[in-house]
Amino acid sequence: MASLPKRIPRRRQPSPDDASRQITNLKQEIEWIRSLLPHQDPIAGYLARRGLLCKRLNPTEHLLLPKAPDRTGQDRFYDCLKKYSFRLFLRDVIKNKTRFGLKDLLRYCSAETAASYLEVLQEYQVITDLGNQTFQLALDEVYSFGDTLEWFVAQVLAREFYTPSSWGLSLQGTAHGGDYDVLALAENKTIYVEVKSSPPKQVESGEISAFLDRIGDLDPDLGIFLEDTQLRMEDKILPMFADVLSTKPHLTAGTPEPVRLPGGDVFQWGDRLFIMNAEPDLVGNMGLCLQHFFGPKVR
C-alpha cells in the first residue's frame, strides 16, 4: 500500500511587525549604500589621490532638465540635446524665460520645429503655459545654458564613449583657479573639456589663456576646447590660440600650428590639445578627438 505523502507545513504568514522590520532593514541597507556612493566616484577619487579637494561636483541646481523624468524621458531629452537647433532653441527659451511665444523662438529653427520642441518642454514640465499661446520657464534657478551644456557634454562622454565623467567641478589648491567644466577618465587617461556656450565673438583671449593655465595645473592627458557653434573656428578662435600659445609653447611641445582633422571642424595642436566646434555634429567631433588621441598612430 502506497504511503501517504508527508504533509507540507503551512508557511507562517508574515505579521505586520515582520513587514515593518523588513522595511526598516531595507532602509538601513539603502542608507548604507548611499553613504558609499560619494567614495565610489572615479573622478573624485582621481582628484583626491592628487591632493586636490573637490568643493563642487555634478551640480544640478541650474540645469535645464525635465522635472523628475523616468529613464525614457531622460533618454529622449538627451537625444533632443544632440541637435544643434534644439540647443539654440533652449538658449532663446532662457533668454525670454519670463514670457515668450512661438514667434520668439524662430531665430534658428522653423515654426514647425519650434512647436515640436515646445511640446517636449511642456511634456516634461520645463515650461508653464500662461495661456494665449505664451509660456514661462518653470525653472527659476536657470539663468544661462552653460551649466546644462556642461552636463550634456559629460553625458556624451559617458553614454557614447563609456568614460566616467563629471561636470561643473570646483577644485581647491590649484594655482590658476579651480573651475573645470568637464573631467573624464578613459584607459587610465584624464580628459579635460572646456565648454563654451557663447558664440566665438564673445570669447576673449583671457578665457583661452585661463583654459591653458588650468591644463598646466591639472596636467590632463587630453585637453579639449569645445565651442558649441557651427561658425568657423579659423576666423577668431584659432588665431587667439596661436597668440596665447606663443607664450606657452610647452603645452603643445613647440608645435607651431594646428592640424585640421578630416571629417569635422576639429583641430589638433600638439599631442594632447584639441579645438572643436559643433559642425557638423558635436558628438561626432568629440569622437574625432578621442579617436585621434586613443587610436593607432599613423607612422
User: Model confidence over 185-212: pLDDT tens digits?
Assistant: 999 999 999 999 999 999 999 999 999 9
Do strands 189-196 and 134-137 pair parallel, antiparallel, or not at all (unpaired)?
Answer: unpaired
173 and 133 share a domain?
no
108 and 241 share a domain?
no
Residue 5 has pLDDT above 80, yes or no: no
Residue 15 has pLDDT above 80, yes or no: no
78 domain-assigned: yes
270 and 155 share a domain?
yes
133 and 252 share a domain?
no
Number of helical (H) and strand (E) elements in the chain, helices listed first: 9, 11
Here the CATH number for the domain that contains residue 184 is: 3.40.1350.10
Rounded Cα–Cα distance for residues 275 and 29 (Å): 46
Query: How would DSSP label each residue in 246-259?
Result: TT-GGGGTT--S-E
Do strands 259-261 and 266-269 pair parallel, antiparallel, or not at all (unpaired)?
Answer: antiparallel
76 and 172 share a domain?
no
In which domain, by residue range, is 120 found? 71-137
**Degrees, nearest 5: CA angle 62-265-273:** 75
**Rounded percentage of the chain residues whose pLDDT exceeds 70:** 89
pTM of the complete model: 0.85
Final residue in a domain of this structure, among 89, 108, 137:
137
Mention every residue, 6+ apart, whose C-beta is less than 8 A from residue 159.
78
90 and 196 share a domain?
no
Please compute the mean of the pLDDT values over residues 223-230 and round it to a whole number.
98
Here the CATH number for the domain that contains residue 107 is: 1.10.10
Final residue in a domain of this structure, among 84, 107, 137:
137
39 domain-assigned: no
49 domain-assigned: no
56 domain-assigned: no
What cell was used for 174?
A: 590649484
100 and 197 share a domain?
no
Final residue in a domain of this structure, among 113, 137, 161:
137
Residue 122 has pLDDT above 80, yes or no: yes
Rounded Cα–Cα distance for residues 284 and 267 (Å): 13
pLDDT in tens, 65-106: 987 667 778 889 999 999 999 999 999 999 999 999 999 999
184 and 83 share a domain?
no
171 and 281 share a domain?
yes
Residue 136 has pLDDT above 50, yes or no: yes
The separation between CA 280 and the C-alpha centre of its own chain, rounded to angstroms, equals: 19
154 and 288 share a domain?
yes
Residue 18 has pLDDT above 80, yes or no: no
160's enclosing H/E stretch is helix 146-161
Q: For the chain, what is the mean pLDDT?
A: 90
pLDDT in tens, 247-280: 988 888 778 899 999 988 999 999 999 999 999 9
220 domain-assigned: yes
Mention every residue, 6+ apart, whose C-beta is less than 8 A from residue 220.
183, 190, 191, 192, 272
Residue 296 has pLDDT above 90, yes or no: no
- State the total domains in the chain: 2
202 and 75 share a domain?
no
Q: Which residues of 162-193 are buried (b: 16+ CB within 10 A; e: fewer)?
A: ebbbbbbbebeebeeebebbbbbbbeeebbbb
126 and 164 share a domain?
no
62 domain-assigned: no
Residue 236 has a pLDDT of: 95
